[in-house]
Amino acid sequence: MNVSILAVLIIAFLAGIGGVVDEWEVHQPIIACTLVGVALGHPLVGVTLGASLQLITLGWMNIGTVVGPDPALAAVVTAWWVAGPAHLPVALGVILALPLAWVGQWITRGMRQLIIPVVNQADQAAAVGNLRRINHLQLLCAGLQGLRTLLPAALLMLLPAAWLQTGYQTLPDVLRGGFRVAAGMLVVVSFALVINTMATRQLWPFFFLGFALATDQHLSLIALGIIGVGLAVLYLGWHGNSGAGPTTGAATPTSATDDDLDRELDDL
């Protein structure tokens, strides 16, 4: 068990870095929950939670200077609760991820302030041409980002499994059933977030085409993807030939939405 706990903490550390640098994407629930599941000897439980949670978090993003809800802490801790000794059901894990994501978001914001003195030291190092010190400071920052998830995760993992179990047992039926319903329904918020980053008047028809075609269960997701790409290629070809030129035609709608998007994200 001690080895698995150590493994979970390492995963938490890597997810903490991943959630800020946004490179390898190991902090995405489908990866992080799976890894925690593997570490605890229940890979399939981890995958199931990860995939269910992924559908809810796929619209959470860090854009510009805005910090989105944090999937890293939510994925690692709920996976520990679901695949670990507490054995909570997947639907409850999905619901518990929401407050954790909110906490993680605040810690991420705090870290961006906390790190300022380290960055100021880099100025001093640069002034005297000490490049090696700049390297070390950058790596130190990466380490701090890892601790951003590792420390709160470790704290939450100290909660005795028996408490969580009793907590779950004492939940009224209404809440248990309601959580199960919510776990299937919360995905619409992510869909809405993604749509909101892209939607312009000219793009809405493609949304409804996708919707209508997907109600035919014979079409797989790959087939739908092929149709989507085909439509995009056709549209761009038509758009380029009929417009005043590729630059003016294609640039205006996207730049207009970017402004809207920035304004909206500033308010989050």
Partner 1 sequence: MTTTKQPLTLTLGDQLRIFGRSGLEQAAWNYPRLQNLGFCYIMIPAIQRLYADRTAQAAAATRHLTSFNTMPYMQSLITGVTLSLEEQRANGHPVSDDEINAVKVGMMGSLAGVADPVWWGTWRPILSAFAASLALSGLGILGPIVFFVGWNVVRLGFRWWAQRWGYRRGVQIVEDLSRGILQKLTLGASIVGMFIMGALVPRWTRISLKPVLVTAHHATYDLQALLDQLLPGLLPLGLTLGCVWLLRRHVKPFWLLLGILGLSILGYWGGLFK
Using the minimum distance from each CB to partner 1, give the nearer residue, 161 or 187.
187
Residue 64 region by backbone torsions, left for phi larger than 0, else alpha for psi between -120 and 50, else beta: left
- Residue pair 69/102 in contact (Cβ under 8 Å)? The answer is yes
Residue 22 region by backbone torsions, left for phi larger than 0, else alpha for psi between -120 and 50, else beta: left
Q: How far is the CB of 235 from partner 1 (least distance, A)?
A: 6
Using the minimum distance from each CB to partner 1, give the nearer residue, 51 or 154.
51
Using the minimum distance from each CB to partner 1, give the nearer residue, 34 or 157.
34
Q: Which helix (H) or strand (E) covers residue 43, if one does?
A: helix 43-57
Using the minimum distance from each CB to partner 1, give the nearer residue, 168 or 179.
179
Using the minimum distance from each CB to partner 1, give the nearer residue, 16 or 152.
16
CA distance 13 to 154: 10
Rounded to 5°, the CA angle 197-202-207 comes to 65
Most distant pair of Cα atoms in the chain: their distance = 68
